[in-house]
Amino acid sequence: MSTLWLCLAVTAAMGGTILCKLKKSPGQGGRKVVCLAGLWGGACLLSLSLFWGSIIFSLSCFLMCTFFSGQELLPVDQKAVLVTGSDSGIGNALCKHLDQLGFTVFAGVLNAQGSGAEELRRTCSKCLTVLQLDITDPEQIKDAFSKVVEKVQNRGLWALINNAGVLGLPGDGELIPMNGYKQCMAVNFFGAVEVTKAFLPLLRKSRGRLVNISSMAGGAPMPWLAAYGSSKAALTMFSSVMRQELSKWGVKVSVIQPAGFKTNISGTSETWDKMEKNILDNLSPDVQEDYGQDYILQLRSYLKFVDQQTNSDLSPVLLDIQHAISSKSPCAFYSSGIFSYMWLCFVSFTPTGIFDHFTQKLFDFTKFMPKALRKSDWKNKAM
């Protein structure tokens, strides 16, 4: 009995230590680890005798304490951080957040004279520098690099956060014109790769961090996001390879896979009009006849639906990025938002047929059908 009480006391002490460390650690990763360990420990206590269940649960707590010992945050010390795509959304909010924490922030923006850039100059400290940085323009990347080097000098750049991205108009993969695919790849993948290659010498000098903002659409197939999801999947794989290659230099690489958060990535109604026209102008008569113009014009309703379902609170993403650049041992992957974590787990462990069936039910394709599929004789012709 005394041994049992000892196990329970050790478990309680370790559990309290874990909760204290959890409060000091930003980001969602630690909370997910605690939940999984709690489920594991509870299963052990229920399935085994109380003595052995307590022993295994205590061991789980010990392993968690070891895990959290590597989650301690490094001092800020005005470390230099470059964030791309800072005009609005996550990038803009992140620059403000990191500036408040005391980082030296370089905010790369698509328009240095735009409202987002002016807001950053007005609301942030003098430690923040706005840089004109179109990540698809090699000359602007070189110019931004020169300005960063001039300011950081021998310190190097502590963290590069590739946040800039475009969504494009969602639609069936057959409908998205090739210039839509090329734009997504140019910004979401090739732009991030080129910026990474340019600034890696500074990251290697500081033994710093590379953080790439991907998407849960880059880890799980989602209807109407063929161009966007493919570009984000490429970015995720690039990040994973770079994580292995850069480990010998002491540079740590993390991927952020957010769920739906309210940003300006989906564009405006004017942007949607241009993208719709782009789709219609690039379709062959046969394809346009099969899908129907009404179907194509309804695609923007998906964007309205997504906008209604997205979370306006960006703090889960900001805290995950903060953890990725500040923790002694950052995670390789962060799934910001509960839905992202659940969806990525679901696609990883569920048989493909079940996942596809669930996806069709979730998106309810029967309410959103191409013109040809609404004809009763279509299946007979196909047979």
| Buried residues in 48-66 as b, exposed as e (16+ CB within 10 A) | eeeeebbbbbbebbeebee
CB 251 within 8 A of CB 203: yes
Indicate which residue of 181, 228, 334, 341 is catalytic.
228
**Helix (H), strand (E) counts: the chain:** 17, 7
223's tokens: 């209807």
Helix, strand, coil % (nearest 5) of the chain?
65, 10, 30
In a 3-state reduction of DSSP, which class is residue 350?
coil
Give CA separation, 15 vs 10, 165, 339, in Å. 8, 41, 27
Residue 295 annotated among the catalytic residues of the structure: no
217-224: long-range contacts, CB 8 A cutoff, minimum separation 24: 218/257, 219/257, 219/344, 219/347, 220/343, 220/344, 220/346, 220/347, 221/347, 221/359, 222/359, 223/359, 223/363, 223/365, 224/170, 224/171, 224/172, 224/299, 224/302
CA angle 265, 266, 268 (to 5 degrees): 110
Q: Give CA 76 to chain center in angstroms.
A: 23
Give CA separation, 109 vs 158, 312, 313, 315, in Å. 19, 21, 22, 21
CB 87 within 8 A of CB 109: yes
Residues with catalytic roles: 228
